[in-house]
Structure 1
Amino acid sequence: MKLPVIRHLQKNNDQEKLENTLEVLESFCDHRSVTDEEMDVIGELISNICGALEVQKMIGEGMAEKDAANSFMQKVLSSIDK
Structure 2
Amino acid sequence: MKLPVIKAVQRTCTPEQIETTLQVLENLSEAPALKEPEIDVIGELISNLCGALEVHELVASGMSEKDAGNAFMKKVLGSIDR
Q: Same fold (TM over 0.5)?
A: yes
Distance 2:35 2:22 in 1: 18
- The root-mean-square deviation of aligned C-alpha atoms, in Å, is 0.5
Distance 2:35 2:18 in 1: 24
Unaligned runs of 5+ in 1: none
TM-score, normalised to structure 2's length?
0.98
TM-score, normalised to structure 1's length?
0.98
Unaligned runs of 5+ in 2: none
CA apart distance, 1:48: 0.3
CA apart distance, 1:30: 1.1
Aligned residue pairs, count: 82
SS in 1 for 2:39: helix
Tell me the residue number matched to 1:71: 71
Runs of 4+ in 1 over 6 A off after TM superposition: none
Distance 1:74 1:59 in 2: 16
